[in-house]
Amino acid sequence: MPIIDAHTHTAFTGDTEPTTGRPRTMDQYFKEWREAGIVGAVAHTSATGENFYDLEKRDVIYCGGVGEAVELKRIENGLKSRQYRCVKIYLGYGHRYAYDRQYEPIYALAEKYDVPVVFHTGDTYSKTAKLKFADPLTIDEVAVDHPKINFVIAHCGNPWIESAAEVAYKNPNVYLECSAMLTGDMDQLPQEKVETYVVRPIAWVFGYIEDPKKLMFGSDWPLVSMKPYVEAYKRAIPREHWKAVFHDNAMRVFKLSPRN
């Protein structure tokens, strides 16, 4: 089954990712693609635009990152050139809510160029981030005020998965991906822990939203190893909905080109 990974990072630093023990290299990235059946991915630049590689011919598109500084010119140039095919707002890392007026020009660009906006939500990877800004419930206001834009809640707002699911259930322009519900290699973690913190929460979210078109697969590589995360994700989703969740939904939301 071909899979689109709707949440990856390409910080190919060459060192070892401490949570997985895997090398952060391009070779490792595409090796894990092959092992997991990945055929395309959405990658996120850093909040200031680093870690972009021209990988469109390998079916990788990029979201331009927005953090504390709203670099409007960089984002618009990236969208205009199609270097960026979406925008990623790092809530929590940037100390403002999703509905802050400083993000309004970003939403105007997303509508102008007809691209989705992805939000980091939930737990953060930084001690200087502030969690109150990463609560997925705040995205409800943005979704209501900008009905022409599609929004994606990354990480399903974990641990606030109920709020994230409700925002997606209520708003027709909000989608979810459950990347990095745990970090590390799922094969190396106790399986009861994987069931408790990955499989059962994703299954609950999928059941609550009552729409198989609303949820996408995402890993958050390199914070997880791709194939074991795919296998855990599959256990949460009824087999008849795998094609939608693992492929079709991301193709539609991110307007990816069909493979020949």
Angle between helices 226-236 and 26-36 (to 10 degrees): 40
pLDDT digits (tens, 9 = 90+) for 55-85: 999 999 999 999 999 999 999 999 999 999 9
Would you call 245 exposed, middle or buried from its count of C-beta atoms within 10 A (0-12, 13-18, 19+)? buried
CA dist., res. 224 & res. 178, Å (int): 12
For residue 48, what pLDDT band results from cuts at 50, 70 and 90?
very high
| pLDDT attached to residue 21 | 87
Q: What is the CA radius of gyration of the chain?
A: 17
Q: Which residue has the higher pLDDT, 260 or 184?
A: 184
Q: What one-letter code names the amino acid at 223?
A: L
Closest C-alpha to 154, from 26, 230, 77, 250: 250
pLDDT digits (tens, 9 = 90+) for 124-137: 988 999 999 999 99
Contacts of 137 (CB under 8 A, 6+ apart): 160, 163, 166, 167
For residue 39, what pLDDT band results from cuts at 50, 70 and 90?
very high
| pLDDT attached to residue 37 | 97
pLDDT digits (tens, 9 = 90+) for 162-198: 999 999 999 999 999 999 999 999 999 999 999 999 9
Residue 260 confidence (pLDDT) above 60: no
| pLDDT attached to residue 20 | 85
CA dist., res. 19 & res. 184, Å (int): 5
> Order of strands, edge to edge, in the sheet holding 38-44?
3-9, 38-44, 60-66, 86-89, 117-119, 151-153, 174-177, 215-216
pLDDT digits (tens, 9 = 90+) for 9-36: 999 999 999 888 889 999 999 999 999 9
Alpha-carbon distances of 99 from 68, 95, 119, 167, rounded to whole Å: 14, 12, 12, 14
| pLDDT attached to residue 50 | 96
How large is the average pLDDT for residues 99-117? 98
Residue 96 confidence (pLDDT) above 90: yes
Residue 259 confidence (pLDDT) above 70: no
What is the DSSP code (8-state) at residue 246? I
Percent of the chain scoring above 70 in pLDDT: 99
Q: Take residue 86 and report the two structure tokens written for it.
A: 């979406």
Would you call 73 exposed, middle or buried from its count of C-beta atoms within 10 A (0-12, 13-18, 19+)? exposed
Average pLDDT score, the chain? 96
How large is the average pLDDT for residues 153-170? 98
Q: What angle do CA 103, 164, 145 make, to 5 degrees?
A: 40
Closest C-alpha to 156, from 227, 67, 220, 221: 220
- Domains defined along the chain, listed by start: 3-253 (3.20.20.140)
